[in-house]
Structure formats: C-alpha cells, structure tokens
Amino acid sequence: MSTEDPGDDGPREDAPLARHLRDRPDRPIGEREFIQGRSRARLILLLFFVGLPVIVLVVVVLNSLASGPPDRDARASTGLNEVTRYCTYKARGDEQYRDCLVRTDFRVVRREDSNPARYARGELTRCLVDAGPRCTLR
C-alpha cells in the first residue's frame, strides 16, 4: 500500500515537508518565527543605538585617561615668550617694560597687527625704527 494516491501528483498534506521546502521565502511565516524575527531586529537596533555609543564613550574615556591632561605649560610658555618679545620691542623704559609684561595677554599679541606683535610672532626678524631701546636686533 502506497502513501500516494495513483491519480495524485504529490505527497499528501499530512506528510512532513523537507526543510528546503518548508523555509521557502514565498511561504507564509508562522507566528512564532515572525516574533523571533522581530525580537532579533530589535536586539540589533538596541545594540547599534545603545551599545555602539557606550563602546565609543569607553574608548574615549580610556584614551583620555591614558594620555593624561593637556600640557598647559607648553602653551603658557609660548604665550609668555611672545609677550616678552612684544614688550621688548614696544617698551621705551624699564617701568613701561614691567607694566607691559604684567598687563599684556598673549591672545592680544596673536590678534594684533602691529610691528611689536609681528616681531613677537616671529614675522619680523629685525627691530625697525619704531622699536624701543630694549630691542637690540637692528
């Protein structure tokens, strides 16, 4: 006795289908597989939008801890050197030189477009006629 009817071209409905026939893309997805697919998609989105920023944050924090705080002394010494050169070029006397050192900010020297500022930044290599007596490179 055969499981197939003589006039039928295929297996009966109660016979199990092979895996490649069960998982065809044109077959309707069962409720369980649909929910599992949605939960996988949600997990991927959760990892992408939460996990990835957390990983980036950890890497940035570890990098900053390893490298330490920024070196402020190097920037301050450069600014101090520019202010000293600026005051050397500009001052006409000792008291004016001391006042210039106390009152001048290195950011002003970087913004200003005058001969003392150009000398302080290294754009001028020699003292011009408008330089004070402390500037000796003529």
Write out pLDDT tens, residues 54-85: 899 999 888 888 887 766 655 556 778 899 99
Structural domain for 33, as ranges: 19-67
| pLDDT score of 42 | 84
pTM over 0.75: no
Task: Please count the structural domains in the chain.
Answer: 2
Whether 86 shows a pLDDT value over 80: the answer reads: yes
Examine the domain organization and report whether 48 and 81 are in the same domain: no
Residue 44 one-letter amino acid: I
| pLDDT score of 87 | 93
Examine the domain organization and report whether 60 and 77 are in the same domain: no
